Amino acid sequence: MSDSEKKISCNLTEKEASVLRNNLPVDEEIQDLAEFFKVFGDPTRIRILFLLKQGEFCVHDITTMLEMQQTAVSHQLKSLRQSRLVRYRKDGKQVFYSLNDEHIDEIIAIGLNHLNE
Amino acid sequence: MSDSEKKISCNLTEKEASVLRNNLPVDEEIQDLAEFFKVFGDPTRIRILFLLKQGEFCVHDITTMLEMQQTAVSHQLKSLRQSRLVRYRKDGKQVFYSLNDEHIDEIIAIGLNHLNE
DNA sequence: TGAACATATGAGCAGATATTCATATGATTA
DNA sequence: TAATCATATGAATATCTGCTCATATGTTCA
């Protein structure tokens, strides 16, 4: 939205407030967006994403690299799977995880950029 | 990183694991990134960001549009301020909030995009 | 100056979340 | 087939988070 279109006001009428309120996405979409970003809001999951930027790894190796318990890692991988940020591939006893969204780099880059501003 | 550079392996040696582990950003940076995304991980804050995409508003109007209590809104505005996602401007008794990072749209767009994939 | 107004802050609480422990599931191998 | 290995899952717990209530701060105006 260009600056010229933006409102500056205080004490909107209920009618005006209602118009602006109705411009918001529906609750479900808002909720889904929040859930999506929540996945990035945990250090362990961020570390897993950074690891997977380097390649495809099995759970055991992820556990070793993070120096965490296997169950803790599996729980977080589940969260990443459910939000479709990672994909997995089974090979015998092992399960290999890799990134599943080409925009992950982009999102993280924006975050890093913001922190350095 | 191009596909050809990516590793696929399991049962890394401690040495290999250590190399990959050390490629991760330092803990503080990981932590800061997670904190940053956590701000996007709440429906109320997402709604505030969507409102502010439409213009600059005082706390009272934000409260009216969201149909929430003023203190709840103020608490969330504080979180948005601390992460420098919004800026504010005082004018008499009122405080006007607006977006403070041109990348907010971009981040949200990526999120929405991911949800529709 | 004091009353009214706009916003911010702190404490308390209820619900969410990350880790751990115990155990289940599924695949390989002896 | 039994033992072992790799991973996943569920319950329990401690911590964190968002909201509400009470109240503080700062501004305007009578």
In Å, what is the separation between the CA of A77 and the C1' of D11?
Answer: 19
| Tokens standing for residue B65 | 């549009």
In Å, what is the separation between the CA of B92 and the C1' of D26?
Answer: 9
Contacts of residue A25, defined as CB under 8 A and 6 or more positions apart, other chains included, come to A33, B50
Out of A74-78, B3-7, B97-101, which region has the weakest mean confidence (pLDDT)?
Answer: B3-7
Question: What domains can be seen in chain A, in order of their start residue?
Answer: 13-115 (1.10.10.10)
Three-point CA angle A56, A62, A64, nearest 5°: 140
Q: Which residue is nearest to nucleotide D8 (CA to C1')?
A: A74
Distance CA B2, CA A102 (A): 12
Q: ipTM of this model?
A: 0.92
Three-point CA angle B23, B110, B49, nearest 5°: 110
Q: Report the gap between the CA of B75 and the closest CA in chain A (Å).
A: 17
Task: Tell me the pLDDT tens digit for each residue of B82-95.
Answer: 999 999 999 999 99
Query: Are the Cβ atoms of A84 and B34 closer than 8 angstroms?
Result: no
Task: Tell me the pLDDT tens digit for each residue of A74-114.
Answer: 999 999 999 999 999 999 999 999 999 899 999 999 999 99
Q: Where are the beta strands (DSSP E) in B1-117?
A: 7-9, 55-58, 86-91, 94-99
